[in-house]
Amino acid sequence: MTDGRKTSRSQAWFGARGRSGMLYRSWMRNQGLGHEVFDGRPVIGVATSASELAPCNAHLTHVAEAVKRGVWQAGGLPLQFPTMATGETLMRPTAMLYRNLMAMEVEELIRANPLDGVVLLSGCDKTTPAMLMGAASVDLPAVMVTGGPMLNGKYRGQDVGSGTHVWKFEEDLKTGRMTEEECFFAEGCMARSHGHCMTMGTASTMACMAEALGMQLPGSAAWPAVDSRRMETAQAAGRRIVRMVDEDLRPSQIMTRAAFENAIRVNAAIGGSTNAIIHLTAIAGRLGVELSLEDFDALVRAVPTLVNLMPSGRYLMEDFCYAGGLPAVMAELLGGKLLHGEQTTVTGRTVAENTESAERIISDVVTGLEAPFQPAGTGIAVLRGNLCPDGAVIKQSAASPHLLTHRGPARVFDSPEAYHEVADDPDLDVDENTVIVIRNAGPRGYPGMPEVSNVPLPAKLLKAGVKDMVRVCDGRMSGTGYGTVILHVAPEAAVGGPLALVRDGDPVILDVPNRILSVEVDEAELARRRQTWRAPAERYTSGYTWLYTQNVEQADRGADFGFLRGSRGHEVPRDSH
């Protein structure tokens, strides 16, 4: 039955004798599977997060077909199953609220079923970390295949980037440079094909992170969703997972501390999203790998930004693909001794071996270390101070250099909505030095830590030609966003972090070179204010959102549920009959 292979996990189901085996096999045969497929060959789950409610993932059913071809080619049995999809654009109050739920679902579906390995098909922002978190907690052989970016957006002869141009168009609309009708037309031009955001937003970032961690095949992150080579890669992943099952090559051997260090540095080199910090921390938590916010600051100081992509630069993922994609970036970093080349990946080969033949093909898109797109030290910085004792984050490359050192009076809003209500008021009491504080947008506060931090500037200042202002928030920012925005302030206001105590007019100090975010109010006064502070009323007393608010950890811990940390393995559960 098992042609020399050791008895597989799936054989605990399909190889069972008597009534039990009959139950497990018979119902599967209603799909036209012959008895020969239960001979002990690796059974590979093809987990797809395809959904018409998550447009970035809608095409994954086609990608799954390619994966399945590969699994059959290598002598495995592919079984496709759906997972939840956390679509960024439609889900309210934020897809992030559901990342942990999706991770739980992925974990439990893999463990409960007769699987020996799994291929994870993701696309939109949260779907990639959710799947990696779930798979890490089961620790069966796993390969990720992200669905690929959309083709470059094109509007009136210009490249337009998903997300990034939404903010630009909004500003143009507010200042009268664009009409409503032009915006309506432009939104169609921004989404020309299947795929996820084609800027270096969170989806592209996390696809690159999966590749940098060694969890997807080299080059896989950048193929556009509609490029036939996306399907070739998917097919190759299908073949590879079958071998991985034979080799018993599992996520815990691939996603080591060294792999996370590689990913953190790659994120700096690609000018990736701040959201990667939260997601990588959460994935690491599933594997028992300790990552602190300081790691994210210290590891990237020597890494320049090599990739010239929106929102920090001008190109898009399609260009990145033609320029050599992530292997070109990783080869360059390896050359500068900025990566652990000996780390194993899903190919069974090391990072160094995977990138041996990689080259930078268009050097304006993927620059070299000798003349980088942005110098080292301009990446994501981690701040501390009496406003954020557990840290805060700023993406320097998306900020205005003149604001990186700034002192200005706070103008405080208890919610993003409170700001939006008055943002267009011509008499709003702000000027370009004001620091806009938006609070109660953290993991517990919103709930779900939405991407609301980069609020548009007040209309009166936009009209006066002001291009950027310092904003401070305990929420997140879309990976496609930009501006001098301090994010992920921890602890958040809703749990009584110092952000909750700031008042209008308090001087806020931002000193990014020295990694400081503080408020010039003395400790005694802050203590007095704390005495009168009351936690916002609990809005949820049942249901998933209650579970979330009771268990979610702060941003610096990855906003996972405390009870989901660690791996729970892949022991075969008790019989069901």
| Interacting residue ranges for Mg ion, rule: CB under 5 A | 88, 125, 202, 478
Cα–Cα distance measured from residue 322 to residue 509, given in angstroms and rounded to the nearest whole number:
43
Indicate which of Mg ion, ligand FES, none lies near residue 197 (CB less than 5 to 8 Å, by partner kind).
Answer: ligand FES
Does position 89 bind ligand FES by CB under 6 A? yes
Q: Which is nearer to Mg ion, 215 or 449 (CB)?
A: 449
Please report how close the Cβ of residue 200 comes to ligand FES at its closest, in angstroms: 11
Does position 141 bind ligand FES by CB under 6 A? no
- Contact criterion met (CB below 8 Å) for 410 and 505: yes
Residue type, 94: T
- Contact criterion met (CB below 8 Å) for 283 and 341: no
Q: Which is nearer to Mg ion, 477 or 510 (CB)?
A: 477
Q: Which is nearer to Mg ion, 274 or 478 (CB)?
A: 478
Query: Which structure tokens are listed for 222?
Result: 């950048």
Cα 496 to Cα 190, 307, 537, 560: the distances in Å are 40, 39, 13, 19
Does position 124 bind ligand FES by CB under 6 A? yes
Please report how close the Cβ of residue 487 comes to Mg ion at its closest, in angstroms: 13
Does position 423 bind ligand FES by CB under 6 A? no
Cα–Cα distance measured from residue 108 to residue 169, given in angstroms and rounded to the nearest whole number:
42
Does position 125 bind ligand FES by CB under 6 A? yes
Residues 6+ apart with CB under 8 A from 137: 103, 107, 286, 564, 566, 567, 568
Indicate which of ligand FES, Mg ion, none lies near residue 265 (CB less than 5 to 8 Å, by partner kind).
Answer: none
Q: Could you tell me which stretch among 45-53, 195-203, 313-321, 553-561 binds ligand FES (CB under 6 A)? A: 195-203
Q: Which is nearer to Mg ion, 43 or 486 (CB)?
A: 486
Q: Tell me the per-residue interface mask from 29 to 68 with ligand FES, x by CB under 6 A, - otherwise.
A: ---------------------------x------------
Comparing C-alpha atoms, which of 259, 374, 353 is closest to residue 306? 374
Q: Tell me the per-residue interface mask from 200 to 239 with ligand FES, x by CB under 6 A, - otherwise.
A: -x-x------------------------------------
Comparing C-alpha atoms, which of 502, 533, 529 is closest to residue 408? 502
- Contact criterion met (CB below 8 Å) for 366 and 320: yes
- Contact criterion met (CB below 8 Å) for 124 and 203: yes
User: Under rule CB under 6 A, how many of the chain's residues touch ligand FES?
Assistant: 11
452 class by beta-carbon count within 10 Å (0-12 exposed, 13-18 middle, 19+ buried): buried
Q: Which is nearer to Mg ion, 38 or 446 (CB)?
A: 446
Cα–Cα distance measured from residue 253 to residue 213, given in angstroms and rounded to the nearest whole number:
11
Indicate which of ligand FES, Mg ion, none lies near residue 212 (CB less than 5 to 8 Å, by partner kind).
Answer: none
Cα–Cα distance measured from residue 6 to residue 401, given in angstroms and rounded to the nearest whole number:
59
Does position 88 bind ligand FES by CB under 6 A? yes
Q: Which is nearer to Mg ion, 94 or 220 (CB)?
A: 94
Does position 197 bind ligand FES by CB under 6 A? yes
Cα–Cα distance measured from residue 155 to residue 177, given in angstroms and rounded to the nearest whole number:
15
Calculate the CA dihedral of residues 357, 362, 366, 369 and round it to 10 degrees.
80
Residues that bind ligand FES (CB under 6 A): 56, 88-89, 124-125, 162-163, 196-197, 201, 203
